[in-house]
Structure 1
Amino acid sequence: MPADQQPDTGTADAAEAVRALAARCAADADTTRKLSREVADAVRGAGFARHFVGREHGGAEGSFAELTRAVVTVARGCASTAWYASLAAYSGRIASHLPREGREAVWADSPDTVIATGLMPAGRAVKVDGGWRLSGRWGYVSGIDLADWVLVCAVVPGAEGPPAMRFFALPWGTWTVENTWDSVGMRATGSHTVTVEDALVAEHFSFDRQELLTGRNSSSDRPVHNMPLQAVAGLPFVAPVVGAALGALDAAAATVTGRRRTPAGEVKLVRAAGRIDAARLLVEQNADTADSHRLDRGLLARAERNATTAAELLRDSAGQLVALAGTGGLGETHALQRHWRDITSATSHVALQYETSAAKSHANALLGPAEE
């Protein structure tokens, strides 16, 4: 169903209240490096975790466009809160690939179950009677301190040829957390390291990583659950950056008063605002394309290019806003410096780099495959 025909789930409407609360708590979250339970509960109550969960489990099966609007709204107050909300939603979409018995267990108590995900294959698993034996250590698992379940990716022996990769779902209490997240920005995302030691994981709590990459979901026929990872591109990571940049714009504009309001300052502010809006349009285009379920190679490549281009525009704009505000904007109590640090940290994510994400696929779409 096209994005303009999909009913709203209410998440975007609820996001404004989450933004206001997150903004009030942002300074404390930045200092303590964790979200408060009140903020985490507000994210859950607004419907982020259930956004992509199937209706048969009580979920909303919402659109990419609505979620993107909601995440942008929350990030205007606190980028770490928006990052947590965004990844909780997208983790629910990833969990839709689990076999039905596994999905029913994950969402047995509520479709608002919060799942954290370690996307990179960092552990190993072997087949045993009753399922898999899993061990490993996964870094940068955002929101793990607030999660009910975790999804991690591990290497498994291939039947023939090279090893394969699978995702595994584990409930709270079956992993340990090392507090390794010490980034200068996005401090309260809780992107710590998860360790699993020789856990027995039932077969219905596992699925082949190729399903996520290709978008061929053998467990759900819902369109939103059958989108390849490339189509989603950097949406989970770049949408919070858009909101953070809008927050930075608000904070910088508040400094352009009295004698500081000069023609040169106004031009700098307007230039930054234009670039932020351009980035936002690129991100919204990606969300609309994902909702349209069109999967030709050119659109997939454009989605990756849009995400990385938006990240670059937003990072540059944040730097311009800090330069405009001057020393005052860098005070520890000023929201501008927090947004600037958050944007700088978030845009370092591997999914938002030309070299690792967008350049090759879009160059091939424009020029055709390179000659050998």
Structure 2
Amino acid sequence: MGQVLDSIIQHAEEIRAAAPEGESLMRLPDTTAKHLRDSGIVRMFQPREFGGLECHPREAAETVMALAALDGAAGWVAGIVGVHPWELAFFDPRAQEDIWGPDNDMWMASPYAPMGVAVPVEGGYILNGRWSFSSGTDHCGWVMIGAAVGDKAGNRTDRVLHVVLPRADSRIDHDSWNVIGLRGTGSKDLIVTDAFLPEYRTLDAEIVLGGNGWRHAGRDETLYRFPFSCLFPLGITSSLIGMTEGALACYIAAQKQRVQVTGVPIKEDPYVLFALSEAASEISAARTALLETVDRFWDKTDRGEEVGFEERASGRRTQISAAWRAVRAMDEVFARAGGAAVHLRTPMQRFWRDAHVGLTHAIHVPGTTYHSAALAQLGGDPQGPYRAMI
């Protein structure tokens, strides 16, 4: 096991026990956030020169899965916030120094969706907008968000930037997050009003999305040449699979001594045993498929070979399929868990709710990605939105 996973396991019972508090607070409990910060889970993709670990993406994925099996919200936050140091490595060194110089454990919230507008002014931009779904934002000192470049009148253009700004330049709408699942992620709205962005704290989004961040920054480490379209979804889907593993573990623990109303112990019911085995194998297969793609892409990148569009599209299809496969399997055991599973005092229902809400993330929507993967395999050339996040 890696050092980060060791630290998570060391505090497993505390993290698991604090999860209901996170549901109530609608953010990670301070104790959980401290355990994650101390473990270094958000520094797994961070450059070594700023105290980062530069881990293999597989190690990061397995660590997020293990954390999410304890507390789905904690795994979700770690998976999302943990990718931002990877992208910050492509920014101007001055931006990196601004954020990591004072504290190399600094966390950055998101999202990347260009919900705001950055209007050019001398030396940079003036940023305005409102961004939804900023996971973990209560525990982040900076934000990394997407913004459309505006013209002089403030109208959007087609150019999109990724920008970083201190939390003091934004306001959290604490009433914007009251949901049925992933409550503990605190994925609240951020509001920015007339914040000045120096040019060096911005990066053209296409540089990252097009796979040229490493060239732009002059980095040649395998980690930073790794495809964005595999790395960014990895933390999110890993947390989702971890939630289903947590639900499965809860089911198994609860069923060992359970006797059905018919008087037949669960362990003697061949139909339940079949369903349990099938669900467990499906969740395991989802994990294996996701990690196999990561390993294959890593090995190819490490050899200096490009991972082409068709292969990236296939990898995204596998990632999406793994998420849906794991959640469907979890549903099969939840439906056989008995009435006790629906009580709010039991953790299984929280994993079930968290996983279903996690499945609604845009990174898990099959439509255009499945279309593009199949079309590319048939010799077609997907364009426009069909290339998005691939």
TM-score tier by shorter-chain length is over 0.9
Once the two structures are TM-superposed, the CA of residue 298 in structure 1 deviates from its matched residue by: 3.0
For structure 1, which segment, 48-57 or 267-276, has the greater mean C-alpha deviation from structure 2 after superposition? 48-57
2:199 corresponds to: 203
Counterpart among 134, 137, 153 of residue 130 in structure 2? 137
Distance of 1:18 and 1:286 partners within structure 2: 30
Cα RMSD for the two superposed structures: 2.1
Q: Measured at CA, do residues 43 and 220 of structure 1 come closer, stay the same or move farther in structure 2, by a change above 3 Å?
A: farther
Counterpart among 73, 94, 119 of residue 87 in structure 2? 94
Counterpart among 295, 305, 326 of residue 288 in structure 1? 295
2:158 corresponds to: 163
Instruction: Normalising by structure 2, report the TM-score.
Output: 0.88
Give unmatched runs, 5+ long, in structure 2. 260-264, 384-390
Distance of 1:371 and 1:90 partners within structure 2: 27
Once the two structures are TM-superposed, the CA of residue 47 in structure 1 deviates from its matched residue by: 0.7
1:274 corresponds to: 281
2:143 counterpart SS class:
strand
Q: Is the 8 A contact 1:79 1:241 kept in 2?
A: yes
Once the two structures are TM-superposed, the CA of residue 282 in structure 1 deviates from its matched residue by: 1.3
Distance of 2:37 and 2:79 partners within structure 1: 11
1:340 corresponds to: 352
2:23 counterpart SS class:
helix
Distance of 2:118 and 2:310 partners within structure 1: 36
Once the two structures are TM-superposed, the CA of residue 57 in structure 1 deviates from its matched residue by: 1.6
Give unmatched runs, 5+ long, in structure 1. 1-7
Once the two structures are TM-superposed, the CA of residue 220 in structure 1 deviates from its matched residue by: 4.3
Q: Measured at CA, do residues 117 and 289 of structure 1 come closer, stay the same or move farther in structure 2, by a change above 3 Å?
A: farther
AA paired with 1:173?
A: A
1:5 corresponds to: none
Distance of 2:382 and 2:353 partners within structure 1: 42
Once the two structures are TM-superposed, the CA of residue 158 in structure 1 deviates from its matched residue by: 7.8
Distance of 1:131 and 1:297 partners within structure 2: 34
Counterpart among 260, 273, 276 of residue 266 in structure 2? 260
Q: Percent identity?
A: 25
Q: Measured at CA, do residues 35 and 277 of structure 1 come closer, stay the same or move farther in structure 2, by a change above 3 Å?
A: same
Q: Measured at CA, do residues 131 and 370 of structure 1 come closer, stay the same or move farther in structure 2, by a change above 3 Å?
A: closer
**Structure 1 residue ranges, 4+ long, deviating more than 3 angstroms after superposition:** none
Q: Between Structure 1 and Structure 2, how many residues are aligned?
A: 363
Distance of 2:158 and 2:310 partners within structure 1: 30
1:234 counterpart SS class:
helix
Counterpart among 87, 95, 108 of residue 101 in structure 2? 108
Counterpart among 316, 322, 326 of residue 334 in structure 2? 322
1:197 counterpart SS class:
strand
1:360 corresponds to: 371
Instruction: Normalising by structure 1, report the TM-score.
Output: 0.92
Once the two structures are TM-superposed, the CA of residue 252 in structure 1 deviates from its matched residue by: 0.8
Once the two structures are TM-superposed, the CA of residue 325 in structure 1 deviates from its matched residue by: 0.5
AA paired with 1:368?
A: G
Once the two structures are TM-superposed, the CA of residue 196 in structure 1 deviates from its matched residue by: 0.6
1:317 counterpart SS class:
helix
Q: Is the 8 A contact 1:245 1:339 kept in 2?
A: yes
